Chain A
Amino acid sequence: MRKKPRFHSLKKLKVRQDWSRWTLYSLAHQRPPNVTGRTYFQQKWTAKSNTRAYHGEQIREKKWKRLFSRNLPAVVPMDFNYLAHHDGSEQAAGRGAGADSAEKLNRPPPMTPYMQMTYYPIERRLDTAIFRSLFASSVRQARQFCVHGLVKVNGKKMPYPGYMLNPGDMFQVEPSSVMFATGAPKKRTSTARKVAKEKAAARAEAREKAPQPSAPSQPEPVPTREEPTPAELKKHMQDLMEDVENVLNEDVGAKDKQKFRAFRQTVKKAVSLWKTASPETVSTLDAQFEFLKDALDKKQAAAEPSRNEPTESTALMSPEDQQKLRQAFDKLKLETEHTSAWNKKDASAPYATPWRPRDYMSAFAFIPRYLEVNQSICAAVYLRHPVARPGLAEVPTPFHLETGQLAFNWYLRRR
């Protein structure tokens, strides 16, 4: 069997969709296409071969041919001032080419590079979009992430790298995998080896000792009442305030996270007492705080006229308590941020720790405009299909305009 050609060959320099030094080297040594002394077919063939080595190299040619579309999308930025002041008739005035005016002397709008948009359907693929949003160091790796079930589209697992994203789709990748893909690779050290061995031993021990799986804990009864009884409410409030005290006493970045966790639990319970609170509406810390405050205020307002016992109602939540609760929520937020930002040495991580970007990443780091990325949760939204606009094509392609044109012409054949 014929030997498979090298993926990164120095003999035939090919630009690939990855962040490797070979790709960087070939990018630096690219030349515009040689059009003199070659037949048109040869030119087209070379252009096709070079561009296909970069765009969707993992897709079979036949599949790509079916994806190819000769209609290339484009937009023109409009000036609303111009639209408001003119109705377009001024362009027809004068001697056919519009009335002479000073405005006509402006420089003409730049050319719209349609020919760089040949491969725009490939940018719609999930694996390519993951690579473009800087969550993976190559398209092949992005593809692997999909196949391994690390990618979600709109909150649902999507194991198909060929899924065509629709405008408005949100995709997210497991943050630890992203840190692995974009971080510097780990060097095996003796400590790491020791840690790995200890872990394996611990796991084996746990497996041996593993008790019979106990009966699943009873799910908590869903609160069916519209509103909690005052006694219940009071008890919950006491619990909550106790946890607040605990959290306030704890330092941010403390080793023992139990108190923070307990506080989160009580807040969740306190919120779930009310039927009006669904987990979707009261999901952020601010929303939780506002909700608790409002609910208690309402309760208080309802209780006061009927019973007229100010002592009883103030016991629910005094302004000082409110202040404290606010502080506790702030502390909770700080704590999470601190834990996330804490970039410490960690032998169990699959990347070099403390985390740092991998070599040559900065030369490839750009995010095209058709994606909106939130790096801290490793999620992105595919806003729209890539478009060409005057002077700018949104498909990131490393090739010369002429190469793009030749490749486009190759695929126009028989279409």
Chain B
Amino acid sequence: MPTRLRASNLPSTVFPCSSIRPQSIPQPARISREFSQSSCRQITQRRRKFYEWMNGPGRMLKDPLPHSTNYLGAYDKFGNLIRGTFQPKDAKDATPKAEAAEGVEGVEAKPDTSSEGQESADDLDAAVSRSEREEMQKKEDGTEEGRLVPETLEDLRPFPLNRYFRSQPVLSEELREAIYQFVKRDGHSLQLASTTFGVSNERIGAVVRLKQMEKEWIAKGKILAIPYAKAVLDMLPTTPHVKERGKRAITHEPINDLIVHPATRQQLFVPVAESRHFTRVDAGKAFDNNLLPADERIPHPELIAAEKDNIDGYSVSERQRRAQERLEAEMAEKNKKKEEKRQAELASTKTVPQRRWDFVFQDVSVDSVGRNGRDPKGVGWRYGLPHQDRKKGQVKIPTKVEA
């Protein structure tokens, strides 16, 4: 567009007030569009705010805090660490107050009973952070000065809006090693490891499997990602390993989780005679005929049996003997089932050994295709039923990988 007014010809009075004056912030010419030569001269308000936030309140999140987590939930609107602001000189006075505010009854106060009780996950995490705090106090008494107060549950929220999610502790490196040695070197069962360390059954298995692999890598001389591992474990809350012999391990997670059965999602009104002794088993029957009571569905029913022995007043040695007997019976049952399954498999297949490969014949039934002929257990191609796998949208991703 040709300019009608040349700036040089104009008297200075043309721009009397500042609002009419051209407002362009001097900056290196950036190109507004790929195809265009004109430069974009504006910094939008949004962009300015973004950088303001990034350089202001968001600055603290750029680098990890040493020996601590660093989540958004731990900061206020102005980017101040909440637990840092009223950090008292002597953390000893602050700790009990914080605990009282949380309203958590001591897991510590009755360590013998409730370490495996696990009423709520909150209590567990509080116990972990409390133990960390204690450790910290010990260290503070000694040498370290500049360390932060350990975080409360509020500080572990990466998403400030979601009150129902927080970063939960992971197993520390020493604890993983201890679990591995407990299972592999000392040869204890997974169940015992689970109750001893307060870690769920599946996690114990996974830890052993991963540790085994790590050791294999070391034996092979493969390079591990140790700088990464150190940095990540420093950023995460961890469950420490209690090394003292007499002390109980800090419970990492609830180990007796009962899965909510779909049949129990509805409310039921079952009229029952007042005189009737209506137990959990009956309640389960009312929901579903095949629903077992909670005592049999939790991962550690042996703890209940042991506690019942305790109630019945058996001596310690007697209790141990009974527990051992139960364990053996259970193992025998399991082995028997496994053996039966193996035998059934052997009976149903016939192997004809050849020079390079064996021919294996398996019994199949035509009826296994089901009534509509589409059951995945069905074998072979059936007349009139085309394969679906060339159709659009048919998923061919494997559904499982054998370990």
A interface with B by C-beta (< 8 Å): 10-11, 21-22, 24-25, 27-32, 71, 73-81, 83-85, 87-89, 92, 109-110, 113, 116, 134, 153-156, 158, 160, 162-164, 166-170, 175, 178-179, 182-183, 260-261, 264, 283-286, 288, 332-333, 335-337, 339-341, 343, 354-357, 359-369, 372-381, 383-384, 387, 389-401
Interface string of B144-181 (1 = CB under 8 A from A): 00000000000000111111111110110000100000
Determine whether the beta carbon of B236 is less than 8 Å from that of A365. Answer: yes
A168 and B202 form a contact (CB under 8 A): yes
Q: Are A73 and B260 in contact (CB under 8 A)?
A: yes
- The reply to whether A89 and B62 contact each other, CB–CB distance below 8 Å, is no
* Complex interface bits, B177-208 against A, C-beta within 8 A gives 1, otherwise 0: 00000000000000000000000101101110
CB-defined contacts of B279 to chain A, threshold 8 Å? 87-89
Which residues of B are in contact with A by a Cβ distance under 8 Å? 44, 46-47, 50, 53-54, 57-58, 61-65, 69-72, 113, 116-122, 158-168, 170-171, 176, 200, 202-203, 205-207, 209-233, 235-236, 253-254, 256-260, 262, 272, 277-281, 283, 293-295, 298, 300, 303-304, 307-308, 310-311, 395, 397-403
Question: A384–B223 Cα gap in the complex (Å)?
Answer: 29
**Residues in B whose Cβ lies below 8 Å from that of A391:** 120-122, 164
Q: How far is the CB of A263 from chain B (nearest CB, A)?
A: 10
* Given contact pairs A79-B117, A288-B219, A156 touches B170 in the complex (Cβ within 8 A): no
CA distance in complex: A383, B63 (Å): 31
The complex places the Cα of A21 from the Cα of B60 at a distance, in Å, of 12
Q: Which 6 pairs between the two chains have the least Cβ-Cβ distance?
A: A88-B280, A366-B167, A375-B229, A84-B307, A362-B64, A381-B206
Complex Cα–Cα for A83 and B226 (A): 44
Query: How distant is the Cα of A160 from the Cα of B228 in the complex, in angstroms?
Result: 26
Chain B, residue nearest A110 (CB): B120
Contacts of A375 in B (CB 8 A): 225, 228-229, 232-233
Residues of chain B lying within 8 A (CB to CB) of residue A92: 272, 278
Query: Do A339 and B212 form a contact, CB below 8 Å, given A83-B295, A372-B203?
Result: no
A363 and B61 contacting across the interface, CB-CB below 8 Å: yes
Pairwise interchain contact A80-B303, C-beta atoms closer than 8 A: yes
Q: How far is the CA of A355 from the CA of B218 in the complex (A)?
A: 21
Contact B257 A76 (CB under 8 A): yes
Q: Chain A residues near B167 (CB, 8 Å)? A: 365-367
Contact A339/B122 with A10-B44, A369-B253 known, Cβ cut-off 8 Å: no
**Which chain A residues lie closer than 8 Å to B205 at the CB level?**
168
Q: Within 8 Å CB of A155, what residues of B?
A: 403
Q: Is the CB of A175 within 8 A of B72?
A: no
Q: Is the CB of B403 within 8 A of A168?
A: yes
CB-CB under 8 A from A337, the residues of chain B are 218, 224, 226
With A75-B259, A175-B228, A357-B235 as contacts: A283 and B216 at CB distance below 8 Å: yes
B305 vs chain A, min Cβ distance (A):
8
Can you spell out 15 A-B residue pairs with CB atoms less than 8 angstroms apart? A28-B58, A87-B281, A134-B232, A178-B228, A264-B219, A286-B215, A288-B219, A340-B223, A357-B64, A369-B168, A372-B207, A375-B225, A375-B232, A379-B210, A390-B121
A79: B residues at CB distance < 8 A: 117-119, 256
Interface contact B54-A21, CB-CB below 8 Å: yes
8 Å CB contact of B53 from A25, A175, A368: A25
- B228 to chain A: which residues have CB within 8 Å? 175, 178-179, 182-183, 355, 357, 375-376, 378
Contact yes or no, B46 A10, CB < 8 A: yes
B213 touches A77 (CB 8 A): no
CB neighbours (8 Å) of B398 from chain A are 158, 160, 163
Closest B residue to A85 by beta carbon equals B311
Which residue of B121, B231, B303 is within 8 Å of A389 (Cβ)?
A: B121
Extra inter-chain contacts (17) besides given A27-B160, A367-B236, CB under 8 Å = A25-B54, A116-B164, A153-B401, A156-B401, A167-B202, A179-B227, A260-B221, A336-B223, A337-B226, A365-B232, A366-B167, A366-B168, A372-B171, A375-B228, A393-B164, A396-B165, A397-B159
* Residues in B neighbouring A134, C-beta threshold 8 A: 232
Cross-chain contact A399 with B225 (CB below 8 angstroms): no
| Contact of A397 with B57 at beta-carbon distance under 8 Å, contacts A10-B44, A154-B403, A383-B203 already known | no
A residues within 8 A CB of B165? 116, 392-397
Asked if A359 contacts B58 (CB within 8 A), the reply is: no
Output the least CB separation between A173 and chain B (Å). 10
Q: Is the CB of A77 within 8 A of B218?
A: no
| A340–B232 touching, CB < 8 Å | no
Q: Tell me, in angstroms, the Cα distance from A21 to B303 when the chains sit together.
A: 48
Measured CA separation A354–B259 after assembly (Å)? 46
Complex: how many Å from CA A380 to CA B225? 14
Cβ-neighbour of A355 out of B61, B216, B227 (below 8 A): B227
Q: Are B399 and A179 in contact (CB under 8 A)?
A: no
**Cβ contact within 8 Å between A376 and B224:** yes
**Interface centre among A76, A109, A286, A359, by most B CB within 10 Å?**
A76
